[in-house]
Structure 1
Amino acid sequence: MPAISLGRNQTRRVSSFLRPLFLLGIITFSVFLVYLIGLEPMPAVHDTFHDLRHSAGFPCH
């Protein structure tokens, strides 16, 4: 079986192909965090993140 060598150009193509998927993942995760931290309807979860924001020194109101 012949060995396959990947050159620099092929590596760049793979990373440039994965970059939009990586950014989409970051955006999706960020939107989920904003919902979880700020808009969660369950009072216990909302209050926990509210207290964590204050303990981190982040004013929220």
Structure 2
Amino acid sequence: MRSIMQFLHDEEGATALEYGLLAALIAAGIVTAVQLLQGSLNTAFTNVANTIGSAAGGGSGS
């Protein structure tokens, strides 16, 4: 009975679970943001690649 009471009062597992849920929520938010900004990010990186390619004399970069 004593070990059951110790288990019920132990908060380490709950804390680890909370951190795990928080990490999963943050990861889901990052994935969602990247998916929403995918077109804009693609355009921005393409423009940067073209600018670097032109400055280096490499043409259009594609």
Give the TM-score, by structure 1 length: 0.45
- The structure with the largest helix share of the pair is 2
TM-score (structure 2 length as normaliser): 0.45
